[in-house]
Structure 1
């Protein structure tokens, strides 16, 4: 089932883990020292271009007459909403640009263009998810409360419709995130008055968001309101689908491990870093795809340094890969299509009861633990040493795979 001993699973000693933590701290300090005018120009330019694209797309929808113009406007609006959602809103709300001391581009003031309240999302995401990444019972983002993505969750008959739930969540992702943030925030506060205030804030945000997209802009279109309404609905659905794919590919492919609550007891900074590296996954992307994903193709780097500027993740990734080689750790990544295929496989497979599954609960592709290494016999020396002379998880996984293939236990 889930990992109970992070060090044992990673095949690293306590000194190794602390040394890894110090090297990651050094990366953080280096990037903090480097950030400056270039980074500030990047985010300001991104915001300006996104707003221009949004306006141009809405004008195209409103003024064009043919289907081509409508499709172009919808594509542009969906792109503008995706950029605002991920590269701007998500990252600003993480505090990545707070160091600029710009009251407009600050985590405490930014309200993004989607249904959820930014403040509610910051608690459920920045705290519950990022601090307790993939810790069972503590990170509510494990399946978002509606899907079974690990065998640590007991199967129930309702999971049979999980593939349909997945499709529904994909199309309405902003609403799922909004409700997720609301429930998390209501769980945090104790007094009924505070809970009512959170619900009121949530309903107010929905009214403003729906009013803008589904009332105001269609009304401004006059007799062509249906065309504008259909465009706004389509753009929001496309944005939802893209955000869903990006988020799911960073958290649910094979190699994004889950952890028992005991791992956070007396957890050191090095162990926290290691848990982030083991609990997340990247997908391969060039500069354009990286930008369109809000640089969340670098989910490993984002979880290591959630408050560092997203435009720095590509250079950070090179150094994190080097550390993975040095400490013989896997760097979980793959093409976007591959990562999404592995995610879909897990969602559909775990819709079934465990009795219909073949791999053991300790050694399934989507759920691993240190128990998968029990009884694995060592091979010759060349198989037990990592590329830089250190034996770690990557070598152990390769050795376990050979053991399984040979039927040796």
Structure 2
């Protein structure tokens, strides 16, 4: 992929910097971390103090919600949004990601940085390399066995499959920290081991083995659906590029992303990731400043004839599922049978 011109991006970044939107605000994030850890502690306290399985089922959903919210802040740390010093961001990433979520911060950062560098680039964006989902007709046709059947019905299976996302992220994280690729194997394994101690153990101690396992299953299912539904609108159904695409950095980041219309409740639910265009243009920009940045970027794109796609939450899922249904259509179409006379 060749770069046409960076002049427009440089001009846009200057506008963002002049507004102070790239400035670090560590105390804000410290407050956010304290709030989210406090919510997690509250969920654990409810585990031990309330003897009602229906309330505990709701508490399991609440814990899944809190863990996903912690994931959003871990994401900010991995993007160096919190502190000026890289090391402090890494500490927060390991604390939130490895200890509280049981996921490898190093693996996530490496994978996510590759995605940011090559969004929706077929063959280079790791987020397009998912066996159970196809994003292009070529990917769909290449699937075999159970994967082919799943891609054929991917629009209907998409949200149910998200219930398993938490386990998939853990499995990949475990394989990474045990591989030669891991540079922080010791601390990452230690923190992930501690996660395995507190997360399965506390629900089972509080509720007993059957109810405790049920609690874990519910919380992980909600965690996966919530996290996946937040990340899904970002790029699915948007422009996909390849090695032959001629596009500059600004247009690459804008045209491959979708924004979900902002509102204080929406912004909280999405952890700021509903401003995906701005996040991709300026990954180190603190998430809570993306709303303000979006006003600048939207006006800039309009003035430069760059398509800026923003839609409602419901419409974003319609677009995603419609796109996935269309990609799987070729596998559902009856094959023509040739006959010879």
The answer to whether the aligner puts 1:333 opposite 2:310 as a matched pair is: yes
TM-superposed deviation, 1:344: 1.6
**1:160 and 2:160 are equivalent in the alignment:** no
Contact 1:280 1:300 in 2 (8 A): yes
List gaps (5 residues or longer) in structure 1. Answer: 7-13, 187-191, 358-409
Write the distance in 2 (CA, Å) between the matches of 1:73 and 1:354.
41
Deviation at 1:249? 1.0
| C-alpha contact (below 8 Å) 1:284/1:336 kept by paired residues | yes
Aligned to 2:222: 238
Q: Deviations over 1:143-184 (max 9, x none)?
A: 53431112343514543322276345401212333455677x
Report the alpha carbon displacement of residue 68 of structure 1 after superposing the two structures with TM.
4.9
The answer to whether the Cα contact below 8 Å between 2:74 and 2:93 also exists between their aligned partners in 1 is: no
**1:21 maps to 2:9:** yes
| Residue of structure 2 equivalent to 1:137 | 123
Q: Which moved more, 1:339-348 or 1:146-155?
A: 146-155
Change (3 A) 1:45 1:336: same
Where structure 2 has 5 or more consecutive residues not aligned to the other structure, the ranges are 335-341
Contact kept? 1:182, 1:199, Cα under 8 Å: no
State which of 242, 246, 249 in structure 2 corresponds to 1:260. 242
User: 1:174: which partner in 2?
Assistant: 166
Give the structure 1 partner of residue 84 of structure 2: 99
In the alignment, which residue of structure 2 is the partner of 1:379?
none
| TM-aligned CA deviation for residue 80 of structure 1 | 1.5
Give the root-mean-square deviation of aligned CA atoms: 3.3
Change over 3 Å in CA distance of 1:229–1:175 after alignment to 2 = closer
User: What is the CA deviation profile of residues 295-320 of structure 1, one whole-angstrom value per residue up to 9, with x for unaligned ones?
Assistant: 11111111111111111100000001
3-state secondary structure, aligned to 1:314 = helix
Once the 2 structures are TM-superposed, how far is the Cα of residue 63 of structure 1 from its aligned partner? 1.3
Give the secondary-structure state (helix, strand or coil) at the position aligned to 2:328: coil
Q: Which of the numbers 195, 198, 205 marks the counterpart of 1:212?
A: 198
1:308 maps onto 2:285 in alignment: yes
The CA deviation string for residues 101-155 of structure 1, in whole angstroms up to 9 with x for no partner, is 78377566544133421101111112x1111111111111015343111234351
Is 1:118 aligned with 2:100?
Answer: no
Q: 1 CA distance for matches of 2:22 and 2:117?
A: 25
Task: State whether residues 21 and 289 of structure 2, in contact with CA within 8 Å, keep that contact through their aligned partners in structure 1.
Answer: no
**CA gap 1:326/1:152 in 2 versus in 1, 3 angstroms:** farther
Aligned to 2:319: 342
Q: Work out whether residues 235 and 258 of structure 2, in 8 Å CA contact, stay in contact via their aligned partners in 1.
A: yes
- TM-score of the two chains, using structure 2 as the length reference: 0.82
* Higher Cα radius of gyration: 1
- State the match for 2:338 in structure 1: none
Q: State the alpha-carbon separation in 1 of the partners of residues 79 and 266 from structure 2.
A: 21
Distance 1:78 1:311 in 2: 22
C-alpha displacement of 1:211 = 3.1
> 2:213 pairs with 207, 229, 232, which one?
229
Q: 1:159 to 1:171 in 2, by over 3 A?
A: same
TM-score (norm 1): 0.69
**Residue 11 of structure 1 corresponds to which residue in structure 2?**
none
SS of the residue corresponding to residue 349 of structure 1 reads: helix
Write the distance in 1 (CA, Å) between the matches of 2:35 and 2:225: 22
Q: Is the 8 A contact 1:57 1:77 kept in 2?
A: yes
Secondary structure of 1:103 counterpart = helix
Most deviating of 285-294 and 194-203? 194-203
Cα distance in 1 for residues equivalent to 2:39 and 2:179 = 41
The number of aligned residues is 326
